[in-house]
Structure 1
Amino acid sequence: MTSAGVISLIGLALVATVIVLLLKESRLTTLALLTALAAGALILIRLLPSLSDLLEGYQALGAVSGVSSYYFGLILKIIGIAYICEFCAQLCRDAAQNALALKIELAAKVGILMLALPVLSSIVKTVIDLF
């Protein structure tokens, strides 16, 4: 994504924020929430091509670095879980659902720990084999 693309996304977010605030002042909270969700979805849709390029770049980096594709895939999955759950939790907070946001964050942490378990097991096994 170019700097112009980032600036256009920032502009979209700022315009959406102003509209959401105006709708909230007019007590149109449902419409404000839908506007915020639509703006967030539009931003994500505009980011998809860049995310695809980024994923290809990281896969090429993994191939060149000699890191096992299994471990490299785990790293990418962990990063994906973290970003997706953070985005979802922020949407919940925007909808004044803080308790639900906390549950999503907890689910992300558990998911990340589950994905990391084989790596941690491998490290512990290697350390034990050294002694």
Structure 2
Amino acid sequence: MEIIQIVGLGLITTILVLIIKEQKPMFAFLLTAFTGITIFLFLIGKIAVVIGVLEDLANRADINMIFLKTILKIIGIAYIAEFGAQIVRDAGQESVASKIELSGKILIMVMAIPIVSVIIDTVVKLLPT
């Protein structure tokens, strides 16, 4: 029941932030950021388990590990960009948050090029000439 702990921590943080925000907005932001990082660190073990299962499935399916690692990197970029953008939004910097999201999307496109190239090559080979 880890979700109960995570939601509980989120609710307690929210109450504290609402109380502290009027007097010390910087401290309220730091508390919010610290809570987000704490939740992320709490979930790292779960993420490692998922990655292990995916690697095992890829090995059994005889999938090239380069593709799996690239997909995992893409997923990581998406999560980290979203997390960073949300923290920056909490600080009231919407324009910076938008730039973080744009950067994440561009990096995902760059990382996806090898996979898209292989897919296009495969489709071209399947087409009759």
TM-score, with length taken from structure 1:
0.89
Match of 1:52 among 48, 51, 55: 48
- TM-fit CA distance, 1:58: 1.4
Structure 1: distance between partners of 2:2 and 2:123: 47
**1:9 correspondence with 2:6:** yes
Deviations 1:95-128 (A, max 9, x none): 1111111111111111110111111122222333
Q: Which residue of 1 aligns with 2:105?
A: 109
Task: Number of aligned residue pairs: give it.
Answer: 127
**Structure 1: runs of 5 or more not aligned:** none
TM-score, with length taken from structure 2:
0.91
Q: For residue 107 of structure 1, give the secondary structure of its aligned residue in structure 2.
A: helix
- Quote the sequence identity (%): 36
- TM-fit CA distance, 1:7: 0.9
Q: For residue 122 of structure 1, give the secondary structure of its aligned residue in structure 2.
A: helix
- TM-fit CA distance, 1:73: 1.1
Match of 1:20 among 8, 13, 17: 17
Name the Cα RMSD after superposition: 1.3
**1:121 correspondence with 2:117:** yes
**Structure 2: runs of 5 or more not aligned:** none
Q: Which stretch of the first structure deviates more once superposed, 6-15 or 118-127? A: 118-127
Deviations 1:52-76 (A, max 9, x none): 1121111112112222111111111
